[in-house]
């Protein structure tokens, strides 16, 4: 008598594959559609979801609930304390609502796949039907294989295959219809569901009032904000994206990652909108800023494909098993200095303070700080990966794990281990005037000129010391050699 769509990280009504299918079935059967969202505090804990990300999600649910209500579709939000209870609770709710069909989009991480397998078994025993759709990637995982039939482990040939596949299968960029309006009787029949409120965040994941004030204006929630931001970007900054995207002091990137991660924007819509703002219908032609941006969005697909093919990356293991034996340092003072942005390397410190300050960090800086932690400090990259998840508004397992694997040289298609970023050269190259550094490290605002990159070595030590800026925790040249030796030993013994 009803069809249910279970929202997860697909918190939008537009271009949502499973939601569109659910709506179509409901329409054909002449029955109402019900939206469901399960708040799972244990999943937030297990997956290290940052409070800022939980807050963004809950704010998004408010927008979603309002949008659905305009279509007379209720959104039932329920907290289920134990995650093992989620499948059973969904089945109970469905039976209570007289619904036989559950639609949802696939999530590819191991915990989620196990949960969905459990739901499928349970549903089979209770006469309920589960319909799963591929939605989050432009190209569903499993579609692209190399000539020898294997999953690509290198991005460039994978990306060529991705482009080819999208051109050959234009339906991949066809947008799904938003859900249709429910029969008006749904309002009466499911009146109680329309009264449902969005809960507060679980206590351990709650922002402080100060953080709410600081973060919320930075990250307006919901799919309409995503759409606005996408349009603005595609009508403006995307043009210079290839030239400026590595400069963290400029707002030259799209800032859409939170929307991709929460599913308030679909990758299809993004790629299609970017393509349509180009003067060609191809993904690999026309304006190079647009092409470059599309290739970055494709990285997100790439890392999701990787985790589907090599699910052990979800289990704290490096993609390259031969990198399992590196003897990491667990120096807590160094780790703390890194997390607090007090390493004495201005570009690293600016970036870590940006992370704490906004719940987001520029991509170039993510690479710099990840390299610094895993190589200069020789600290286990998994500690950094974890810290990122705990603080990022856009924390996404596949992209974060992929990014850390790249920078620490233990991942798929990584930076070779002997390429160690020199943080001072990175700083001069990508923040030449020190604008980014001065924006995030107030102690260095009084340092003039290039000395800002390395104040103690460049004659600005007095100013820096007076302002309380720390000296470098390690010396780069020696740290680099220590890292090379440790990586080499680890690989040889692996």
| Residue 255 annotated as part of some ligand binding site | yes
Q: Is residue 323 part of an annotated ligand binding site? A: no
Residue 252 annotated as binding site: no
Structure-token match 């390259």, residue found:
320
Whole-number minimum distance, CB 390 to ligand FAD, in Å? 11
Nearer to ligand FAD, 21 or 254 (CB): 254
Could you give the count of Cα atoms lying within 13 Å of 199 in the half-sphere of its Cβ? 17
* 254 versus 277: smaller Cβ distance to ligand FAD: 254
Q: What are phi and psi of 335, to 5 degrees?
A: -60, -45
- 381 has catalytic annotation: yes
Active site residue 299: yes
In the complex, minimum distance from the CB of residue 342 to ligand FAD, in angstroms, rounded to a whole number: 20
299 labelled binding-site residue: yes
| Residue 276 is labelled as binding a ligand | no
Q: Does the CA dihedral 295-300-306-309 come out positive or negative? A: negative
| 104 three-class SS | strand
Could you give the 3-state DSSP secondary structure of residue 88?
A: helix
Binding site for ligand FAD (CB under 6 A): 245, 253-257, 260-261, 296-297, 299-300, 303, 363, 366-367, 370, 388, 392, 394-396, 399-400, 402-404, 407
| Cα dihedral 26, 29, 32, 34 in deg (nearest 10) | -40
Q: Which residue is nearest to ligand FAD (CB)?
A: 403
CB of 402 vs ligand FAD, minimal distance in Å: 6
Point out the catalytic residue in the list 296, 390, 428, 435. 296
Annotate 309-322 with b (16+ C-beta within 10 A) or e (fewer): beeebbeeebbbee
Secondary structure of residue 78 in the 3-state scheme? strand
Choose the catalytic residue: 219, 404, 440, 443. 404
| Whole-angstrom distance, CA of residue 399 vs CA of residue 282 | 25
Place of tokens 């940006």: 354
Q: Which residues, other chains included, contact 280 with Cβ-Cβ below 8 Å and sequence gap of 6+?
A: 286
* Catalytic member of 97, 162, 299, 338: 299
Nearer to ligand FAD, 275 or 366 (CB): 366
Q: Between 381-391 and 397-407, two packed helices, what is the crossing angle to 10 degrees? A: 140
Kindly state the tokens that stand for 2.
Answer: 């009803």
Verify whether residue 223 is a known catalytic residue: no
Tell me how far apart the terminal alpha carbons of the chain are, to the nearest angstrom.
Answer: 58
Q: Give me the least distance between CB of 437 and ligand FAD, in Å please.
A: 18
Instruction: Please say if 363 is a catalytic residue.
Output: yes
Tell whether 159 is in a known binding site: no
Active site includes 76? no
Q: Which of 6, 219, 381, 440 is catalytic?
A: 381
Nearest-approach distance from CB 351 to ligand FAD, in angstroms: 11
Q: Is 249 annotated as a binding residue?
A: no
Query: Which is closer to ligand FAD, CB of 111 or CB of 296?
Result: 296
Q: Is 360 an annotated catalytic residue?
A: no
Cα 132-138-142 angle, rounded to 5 deg: 65
Nearest approach in angstroms of CB 282 to ligand FAD is 19
* Candidate list 328, 390, 422, 435, residue with the active-site label: 328
Show the tokens assigned to 414: 């990584």
Q: Which residues are annotated as a binding site for FAD?
A: 241, 253-257, 293, 296-303, 394-396
Residues that are catalytic: 296, 299, 328, 363, 381, 404
Binding-site positions: 241, 253-257, 293, 296-303, 394-396
């Amino acid at each position: 008598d009803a069809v249910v769509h279970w929202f997860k990280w697909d918190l939008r009504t537009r271009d949502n594959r499973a939601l569109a299918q659910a709506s179509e079935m409901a329409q054909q059967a002449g029955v109402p559609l019900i939206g469901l969202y399960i708040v799972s505090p244990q999943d937030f804990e297990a997956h290290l979801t940052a409070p800022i990300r939980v807050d963004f999600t809950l704010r998004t649910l408010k927008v979603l609930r309002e949008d659905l209500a305009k279509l007379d579709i209720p959104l039932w939000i329920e907290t289920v304390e134990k995650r093992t209870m989620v499948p059973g609770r969904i089945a109970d709710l469905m039976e209570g609502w007289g619904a036989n069909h559950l639609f949802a989009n696939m999530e590819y991480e191991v915990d989620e796949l196990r949960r969905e397998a459990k739901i499928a078994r349970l549903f089979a025993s209770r006469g309920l039907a589960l319909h799963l759709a591929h939605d989050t990637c432009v190209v569903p995982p499993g579609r692209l294989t190399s000539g020898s039939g294997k999953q690509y482990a290198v991005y460039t040939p994978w990306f060529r295959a991705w482009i080819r596949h999208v051109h050959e299968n234009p339906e991949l960029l066809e947008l799904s219809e938003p859900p249709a309006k429910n029969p008006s009787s749904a309002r009466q029949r499911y009146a109680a569901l329309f009264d449902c409120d969005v809960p507060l965040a679980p206590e351990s994941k709650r922002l402080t009032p100060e953080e709410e004030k600081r973060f919320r204006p930075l990250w307006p929630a919901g799919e309409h904000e995503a759409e606005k931001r996408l349009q603005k970007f595609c009508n403006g900054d995307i043009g210079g994206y290839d030239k400026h995207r590595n400069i963290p002091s400029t707002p030259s990137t799209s800032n859409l990652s939170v929307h991709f991660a929460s599913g308030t924007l679909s990758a299809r819509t993004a790629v299609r909108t970017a393509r349509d703002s180009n003067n060609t219908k191809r993904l690999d032609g026309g304006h190079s800023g647009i092409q470059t941006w599309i290739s970055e969005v494709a990285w997100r697909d790439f890392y999701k494909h990787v985790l589907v093919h090599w699910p052990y990356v979800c289990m704290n293991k490096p993609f390259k098993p031969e990198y399992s034996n590196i003897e990491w340092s667990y120096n807590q003072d160094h780790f703390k200095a890194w997390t607090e942005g007090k390493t004495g390397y201005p570009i690293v410190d600016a970036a870590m303070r940006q992370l704490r300050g906004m719940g987001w960090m520029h991509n170039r800086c993510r690479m710099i700080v990840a390299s610094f932690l895993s190589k200069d400090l020789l600290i286990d990259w998994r500690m950094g990966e974890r810290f990122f998840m705990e603080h990022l508004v856009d924390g996404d397992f596949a992209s974060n794990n992929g990014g850390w694997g790249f920078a620490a040289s233990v991942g798929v298609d990584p930076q070779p281990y002997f390429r160690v970023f020199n943080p001072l050269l990175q700083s001069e190259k990508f923040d030449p005037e020190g604008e980014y550094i001065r924006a995030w490290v107030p102690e260095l605002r009084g340092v003039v000129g290039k000395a800002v990159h390395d104040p103690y070595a460049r004659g600005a030590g007095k100013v820096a010391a007076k302002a309380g800026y720390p000296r470098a925790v390690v010396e780069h040249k020696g740290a680099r050699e220590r890292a090379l030796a440790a990586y080499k030993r680890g690989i040889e013994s692996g």
